[in-house]
Amino acid sequence: MADAELAFGKALSRTETPIPGLVVFELPVHGDARGWFKENWQREKMTAAGLPDFGPVQNNISFNDAVGTTRGIHAEPWDKWVSVATGRIFGAWVDLREGPTFGAVFTTELDPSRAIFVPRGVGNSYQTLEPDTAYTYLVNDHWSPDASYSFLNLADETAAIEWPIPLADVEISPKDLAHPRLADVTPIPPKKTLVLGAAGQLGRALRTAFGDSVGVEFATRAELDVTEADLATARRWRDYGVIVNASAHTAVDVAETTEGRQDAWAANVTGVAALARIATANGITLVHVSSDYVFDGTLDRPYREDDPVRPLGVYGQTKAAGDAIVATVPRHYIVRTSWVIGEGKNFVRTMASLAERGAHPRVVDDQVGRLTFTPEIARGIRHLVDSGAPYGTYNLTGNGAPTSWADVAREVFRLTGHDPQRVTGVTATEYFATATAPVAPRPANSVLDLAKITATGFDAEPASDALARYLAIAT
């Protein structure tokens, strides 16, 4: 297409195609007798028009001398922004990703006034319709021999692409001619999900919540430690779409000691900062688990996500610092929870054991909150990721009326067939008065407002129901 035939002055606009994520963009081209000018890539305008903020790292140009030069069909594990600097092409795209649209085809012509966003795993090919055609593409990853590629034969009968110039009459590389038919193509899998801290209480619940999903990997701290210096090269991170960080230093009292303070900052801040850099650089969604300890507990209402943080102790300070770091990641979910109960040693199991042994425990009654069981946290995390909820911070706890720790203890006694009156309520000051080791300050009010996550379609289970089921299973 000659320059004079370009459609000058078009508005920037987008058109969806039958292939999910494959989007055509009309580009404004401004011209006069001297030639023309366009903004081939303008992040602010194009993301506002609906282009994913895909973070290109490389710009390539393929110059084609003759009409009929034909290339493809190649599907790479990265996104592309494809456009034409000079000349004109017939483009053909085939969905080679796992899923219901595998094999779907879309074709159109591109000239300098039209571009297309090609998502990861969609096969890309073209045929030049004018001599001296400069085909350009931005990509958001560097080529790697370790990446997973897929290819389709240009003449595949199932795709049945109607090439303007018959393939027998054009220039094609021997490699492209040898690509497989659709029935023999290896589909590109979705980006992987990595769960860190998979041996912990929450990690074990996440194994259950994500266990039926394809492409989910689980790593214990022994297998992948976020505090290690080589974290940035520990994986090919561009292959991951989500990292769920269930690895943290949660020993709140130990964090008040000299060694514990160091460990808490290393795991909850330094390691989180390393994950945040990886997630930002590779377009990964980072899921980070936070805590009610970022608040001082002095409010007389449930805490909302946007309330100012005022941590009282070292653990709370490290969690607040980690939250601030994660909030800088473009794609992030900060899941703030409280009073967590999972497998292994915990408050509920301790109370059940004391009830069975005939003890009369003294339990704190001036701290209020809601129990949150790890399967509920895992269910909420999966809901946020799968539903595509807006990124940001979400409170996630058990639902229902707030209780004190003494109330919880009495309910454990009752549910296990023991007299709840054997539990005596005391203040936190009284309870810790005889402690010989450092004790972390606790927020008196740990109740978190659940309106924001409820608005995404997640209904938190009443803590009382989860407690009854937990005890029925545990005993």
Cite the active site residues: 74, 137
Give strand pairing partners of 372: 340
* Structural tokens at position 266: 């290393």
Per the listing, tokens 């795993």 go with 121
Q: 211 CB contacts (<8 Å, ≥6 apart)?
A: none
The DSSP result for 337-377, as a single string, is E-SEE-SSS-HHHHHHHHHHTT---EEE-S-EE--EEHHHH
Residue 355, classed as helix, strand or coil, is helix
Count CB atoms within 10 A of the CB of residue 63: 13
Q: Is 127 helix (H, G, I), strand (E, B) or coil?
A: strand
* Rounded alpha-carbon distances, angstroms, from residue 473 to 14, 17, 349, 468, 470: 54, 50, 11, 9, 5
Of 201, 265, 194, 258, which is closest to residue 223 (Cα–Cα)? 194
Structure letter (DSSP) for residue 266: I
Answer yes or no: are the C-beta atoms of 285 and 338 closer than 8 Å: no
Q: How far apart are CA 277 and CA 274, in angstroms?
A: 5
Instruction: Point out which residues pair with 244 in neighbouring strands.
Output: 195, 287
State the greatest distance between any 2 C-alpha atoms of the chain, in Å, as a whole number: 95
- Angle between helix axes 314-326 and 271-282 (nearest 10 degrees) is 10
Residues 128-140, buried b or exposed e (16+ Cβ, 10 A)?
bbbeebebbbbbb
